[in-house]
């Protein structure tokens, strides 16, 4: 009995620790006072001002554009690569997987500065293009790491059966393999999208003047004090993500229930 | 099926944007530009062993080790609690551990600034009950707190995913054979969960040792860690050669220790480094 109480207490404390700062951001997004730490009454004005703030809106625009494009390109290249890697013999596979693990394991700051050196070396102006290249580069490995396990679970006979039934290799790939590994592709794409949205360090070193994402904007504000509009924006983003995840989770749970009842 | 060519775009991409940049960093790290032009040197690496910089390294390792230890002490029981929760709640508990990571990393760290600063909430609370206010911001403690806060999920999730895979029969067998709870934990659960602990330690220690944002925001710049040192070389002092040498050093340390740890991680058999 005591043990159970202690467990709950401990769990609650950890969750409070995790959520306290987020709660504070949310509360301050409704605060009618510019200074953090002072409560000046309830207001929605930061939410209104958010949409007319050109600095934040431009950062949001670049964040979303970069996240969508880099996730799509990374998913395309990564999925194709996984299908090819799956075919390789052990030696080639381990060589290429070691290459894949480098950006995953490497410190962000080292990846960031090494890309920056490359872009400056080949005289590519730092900006949207370099930012996109950088994001695609760190996204691809996560797509491969999500898709490859799916391919390994795949029954190789399915593909052979499709060929025996007269499908061309392309048709079989498109109608048999791709649908089978779709969950892995979607996980990989979502993973890439969120990594891109949240990235600061690599973006910081690979973007140029005029192009900055939300993280960079927040970083440049942090020492002077963040605009309350940012709190409003992050509240909106947080609630959106929370709702989406809860919907996905309840659907997944319902599917489990259905399977268990069947 | 022979579709090997569809890997080529990826291989070309990774050579261009992973291999070539690393070669560039390496070549910057072993050269020095002077009036006589480029010359090969190991001076940049030697400079790193100057007590000034070695202390930065030791300080970074220290803070990262302390944060990793705290994450392990806080995270292991939490992973156990989640793993033993009824299945109906379990996914929810994991989900609620992941959700904070969807909030921008800088914003979460910034939120701690508004909690810890002189006129922040914690100090307001203290003064309102007539206690003296504390100097919380810009200390080692604040940096460690920032690291623990940001990286705790990286410790809990790998341990959790190993714990739920442990065969319950093993635990019951140990109990049937007369082991008490402590003994079951020490002799069965803990050894079986070690792969999760290893990957958790790696996943917390690596970002902790190289972060430059957390010390910059919570440590107030006076605590230079290795990440700040690298950033400085490239963005303010313009010493790319020295910055590249530190980066190469970090890269080698990280790849080497991950490779070593990877040997314990049986899940990634044949896929990991080496």
- For domain A56-226, the CATH architecture is Orthogonal Bundle (1.10)
Domain with residue B173: its CATH number is 1.10.3720.10
Give the three-state DSSP class for A42. strand
Contact B1, A87 (CB under 8 A): yes
In this prediction, residue A134 carries a pLDDT of 97
The answer to whether residue A182 scores a pLDDT higher than 60 is: yes
State the Cα–Cα distance between residues A207 and A209, nearest whole angstrom.
7
Q: Which residue, A224, A36, A229, A16, is CA-closest to B111?
A: A36
* Residues constituting chain A: 262
In a domain, B235, yes or no: no
The answer to whether residue B211 scores a pLDDT higher than 60 is: yes
In this prediction, residue B3 carries a pLDDT of 64
Residue A15 near chain B (CB below 8 Å): yes
The answer to whether residue B35 scores a pLDDT higher than 90 is: no
Residues 27-46 of B with CB under 8 A from A: 28
Band of pLDDT at residue B274, cut at 50, 70 and 90: very low
A174 or A260, which is more confident?
Answer: A174
In this predicted model, what pLDDT tens digit does every residue of A117-173 receive, in sequence order? 999 999 999 999 999 999 999 999 999 999 999 998 888 888 889 989 988 888 988
A55 or A249, which is more confident?
Answer: A55
In chain A, % of residues over pLDDT 90 = 47
**CA of A42 vs chain B CAs: smallest distance (Å):** 18
The answer to whether residue A4 scores a pLDDT higher than 70 is: yes
Average pLDDT score, chain A: 88
Dump the DSSP string for B26-44.
Answer: HHHHTEEEETTEEEE-SHH
Q: What is the ipTM of this complex?
A: 0.86
In a domain, B260, yes or no: no
In this prediction, residue B272 carries a pLDDT of 35
In a domain, B14, yes or no: no
The answer to whether residue B261 scores a pLDDT higher than 80 is: no
In this prediction, residue B37 carries a pLDDT of 76
Does pTM surpass 0.90? no
The CA-atom distances, in angstroms, between A76 and each of A43, A69, A115, A136, A214 are 45, 11, 22, 10, 25
In this predicted model, what pLDDT tens digit does every residue of A11-32 receive, in sequence order? 999 999 999 989 988 988 898 8
In this prediction, residue B263 carries a pLDDT of 63
In chain B, % of residues over pLDDT 90 = 42
Tally the domains of chain B: 1
Residues 53-72 of A with CB under 8 A from B: none
The answer to whether residue A185 scores a pLDDT higher than 70 is: yes
In this prediction, residue B237 carries a pLDDT of 87
All structural domains of chain A with their residue ranges? 56-226
Vertex A250, ends A247 and A256: CA angle to 5°? 145
Highest mean pLDDT pick, A203-207, A244-248, B5-9, B134-138: A203-207
Nearest CA in chain A to B9: A77
**CA of A7 vs chain B CAs: smallest distance (Å):** 7
In this prediction, residue B258 carries a pLDDT of 77
Nearest CA in chain B to A244: B99
Averaged pLDDT, B97-120: 83
In a domain, B25, yes or no: no
In chain B, % of residues over pLDDT 70 = 92
Q: Which residue, A38, A12, A16, A14, is CA-closest to A27?
A: A38
In this predicted model, what pLDDT tens digit does every residue of B162-171 receive, in sequence order? 999 888 899 8
Residue B1 near chain A (CB below 8 Å): yes
């Amino acid at each position: 009995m005591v043990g159970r109480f202690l467990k709950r207490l401990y769990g609650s404390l950890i969750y409070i620790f995790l959520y306290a700062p987020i709660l504070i951001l949310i509360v301050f997004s409704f605060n009618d006072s510019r200074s953090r730490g002072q409560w000046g009454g309830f207001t929605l004005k930061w939410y209104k001002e958010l949409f007319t703030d050109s600095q934040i809106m431009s950062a949001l625009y670049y964040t979303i554009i970069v996240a969508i494009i880099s996730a799509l390109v990374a998913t395309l290249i990564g999925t194709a690569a996984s299908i090819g890697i799956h075919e390789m013999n052990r030696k080639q596979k381990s060589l290429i997987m070691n290459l894949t693990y480098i950006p995953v394991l490497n410190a962000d700051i080292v990846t960031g500065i090494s890309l920056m050196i490359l872009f400056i070396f080949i005289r590519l102006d730092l900006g949207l293009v370099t930012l996109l290249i950088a994001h695609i580069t760190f996204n691809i490995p996560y797509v491969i790491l999500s898709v490859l396990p799916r391919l390994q679970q795949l029954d190789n006979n399915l593909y052979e059966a499709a060929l025996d039934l007269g499908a061309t290799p392309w048709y079989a790939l498109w109608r048999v393999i791709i649908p089978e590994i779709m969950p892995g592709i979607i996980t990989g794409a979502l993973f890439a999208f969120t990594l891109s949205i949240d990235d600061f360090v690599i973006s910081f070193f690979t973007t140029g003047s005029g192009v900055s994402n939300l993280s960079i904007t927040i970083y440049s504000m942090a020492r002077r004090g963040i605009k309350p509009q940012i709190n409003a924006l992050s509240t909106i983003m947080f609630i959106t993500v929370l709702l989406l995840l809860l919907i996905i989770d309840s659907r997944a749970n319902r599917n489990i229930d259905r399977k268990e009842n069947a | 099926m022979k579709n090997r060519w569809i890997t080529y775009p990826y291989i070309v991409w990774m050579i261009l944007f992973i291999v070539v940049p690393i070669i560039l960093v390496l070549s910057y790290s072993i050269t020095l530009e002077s009036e006589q032009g480029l010359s090969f040197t190991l001076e940049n690496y030697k400079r790193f062993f100057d007590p000034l910089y070695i202390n930065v390294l030791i300080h970074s390792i220290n803070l990262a080790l302390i944060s990793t230890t705290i994450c392990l002490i806080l995270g292991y029981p939490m992973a156990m609690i989640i793993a033993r929760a009824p299945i109906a709640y379990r996914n929810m508990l994991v989900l609620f551990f992941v959700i904070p990571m969807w909030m921008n990393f800088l914003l979460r760290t910034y939120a701690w600034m508004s909690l810890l600063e002189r006129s922040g909430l914690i100090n307001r609370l203290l003064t309102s009950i007539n206690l003296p206010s504390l100097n919380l911001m810009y200390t080692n403690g604040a940096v460690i707190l920032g690291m623990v806060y940001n990286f705790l999920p990286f410790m809990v999730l790998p341990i959790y995913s190993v714990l739920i895979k442990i065969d319950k029969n093993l635990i019951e067998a140990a109990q049937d054979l007369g082991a008490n709870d402590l003994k079951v934990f020490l002799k069965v659960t803990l050894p079986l969960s070690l792969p999760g602990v290893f990957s958790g330690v790696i996943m917390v220690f690596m970002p902790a040792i190289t972060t430059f944002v957390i010390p910059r925001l919570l440590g107030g710049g006076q605590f230079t860690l290795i990440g700040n040192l690298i950033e400085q070389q490239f963005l303010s002092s313009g010493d790319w050669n020295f910055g590249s040498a530190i980066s190469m050093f970090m890269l080698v340390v990280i790849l080497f220790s991950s490779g070593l740890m990877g040997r314990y991680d049986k899940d990634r058999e044949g896929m990991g480094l080496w």
